[in-house]
Amino acid sequence: MHEWALAEAVISSATQIAEKEGLKAVKEVKIRIGELQQVELDIFEFALSQLKTGILQEARFVIETVRARFRCRVCSYEWFFERNRLTGDSAEAIHFIPEAIYAFIKCPRCNSPDFEVQEGRGIWLESIIGVR
């Protein structure tokens, strides 16, 4: 259900932007999804296809996943997220609340829980291409 809610938000935002820009039809919507969102892309794409109407009826959705990259505030080490290192429960928690990542991982170099997410969080519309 997480994916359906995200798809509804994308459809709503894309529609508002397209209308504000005076587009008659949207041809393409580029979406970037942070890896920490752990979106099931098949479900998300299906939801987008089922929810698009009106100005978005013929739109093609291009989705790019952005890898999650972290930087330790203690030792400055940078590393990438590895979902397969999480237990099922912690992966589930992060799926619904990406900020929960701080409770489940630590710096692989110094073991500090004090790190920042450099990339790979959130979902955003990268671009909308349409016809005026």
User: Which pLDDT does position 102 carry in this prediction?
Assistant: 84
Stated pTM of the model: 0.83
- Tell me which DSSP letter residue 99 carries: G
What is residue 83's predicted lDDT score, i.e. its pLDDT?
67
Q: Which of 84-88, 92-96, 100-104, 117-121 has the lowest mean pLDDT?
A: 84-88
46-95: pLDDT as tens digits: 999 999 999 999 999 999 999 999 999 999 999 998 865 676 777 777 76
Q: Would you say residue 1 has pLDDT above 90?
A: no
Residue ranges of domains in the chain = 2-131
Q: Smallest Cα–Cα separation from 95: which of 17, 50, 47, 34?
A: 34
Give the pLDDT confidence score for residue 86 in this predicted structure: 72
Q: Does domain 2-131 have CATH number 3.30.2320.80?
A: yes
CA 37/CA 16 separation, integer angstroms: 23
29 or 94: which leads in pLDDT:
29
Q: How confident is the model at residue 98 (pLDDT cuts 50, 70, 90)?
A: confident
DSSP one-letter code for 46: H
More confident site: 103 or 60: 60
